[in-house]
Amino acid sequence: MSRTRVTTRQAIHPWHLGSVLLLLSLIGLVMGSAVGSTGVSRVWALWQDPLSWQIVWDIRLPRSVGAWVGGALLGLAGALAQGLFRNPLADPYLLGSASGASLGVALGLALLGPSVATGLWLHVGLTGMAFGGAVLAVGLTLVLARGVQYSLRLLLAGVIVGVVLGAVSSLITLLRPEVLQGMQGFVLGSTAFVSWPACGLMLAVLLLCSALAAWLSPLLDALSLGESTTLSLGLPLGPMRVVLVGVLSLATATAVAQLGLIAFVGLAAPHVVRAITHSTHRWGGVLSAGMGGALLLWADVLARAVLAPQELPVGLLTAVLGGVYLLWLMHRNQGQEQGSGGAL
């Protein structure tokens, strides 16, 4: 007689996970303030030197804060995307916002020249072009999908828009090869140019999107049980889904416009949260934001420290770490499936 072996995993309470993420984020901010082009400095020594403290306050600290807030936006957007599409492999870029932002930057560099990608234009012009391109891409996705009534149609429209706009960006770089260097930093993702105003903008958007995500959490909880269940509960599925797409797009576009294309953070953060704790979408969104912020912050610290005084693109590092994590997750799930099949 065969015996079925059942294993249970003790989940961490959401409050405990939130406390751990807060502690990791605070430590990451301290480490981010201490890591510079010469390696890791003693934080208490930086406070005693006015010039060193100015470097910390004007360059290192806004960069670390921007990395955390940008990662939080991507983590929150990833949780919303996975809840909307009811797919754990959904990421914030599925609606075409990343390709639209890349197209906006490529157009800006091609029309005005790569030499303008410095100073005020870098912080205002290219950021605005990237944000406008992301919004345009999401708008095209909604037009092709004929609204947000059908998740599968919305998903397919986002993939189509992403491919087409990506091809247009490649065509621009082919016709204007001089924009490749300016595009490199955006495509690989970077926190090097984040300023305090950019941090304030991303933080304001994060607070707004978090409040709207908390309001939309009953819809996501109901969608996890099916659209028929959502309708039976009397929830306004159509209007709430429109707001959900808007929140998802706003969070993604803001992070991409300030940091460039950061891979895997929006996909991996909700995965890690679900692997550690069980919660509703209200807590899941908050914890995914905290997880995304902590992941990108520590990735930025490692990107600066590993090859100091040289610096790795933070998007490249998150892609490698995210790929390794997903491979490990796939191998673990495959092992569990084989184990359960052999026990039956």
Q: What is the pLDDT of residues 232-284, one digit of tens each?
A: 777 777 788 888 888 988 999 889 888 988 988 999 899 889 888 887 888 88
Q: What is the pLDDT of residues 162-208, one digit of tens each?
A: 999 999 998 998 888 888 877 887 888 888 888 898 899 999 999 99
Q: What is the mean pLDDT of residues 43-54?
A: 65
Task: Centre a 10 Å sphere on the Cβ of residue 308 and count the other Cβ atoms it contains.
Answer: 15
Terminal alpha carbon distance of the chain: 10
Report whether 282 contacts 275 (CB < 8 A).
Answer: no
Q: What is the mean pLDDT of residues 280-289?
A: 89
Report whether 65 contacts 334 (CB < 8 A).
Answer: no
Sketch the domain layout of the chain as residue ranges: 14-343
DSSP element (H, E) containing 36: strand 35-36
| Class at the top of the CATH hierarchy for domain 14-343 | mainly alpha
- Mean model confidence pLDDT for the chain: 81
Inform me whether the pLDDT recorded for 30 exceeds 80: yes
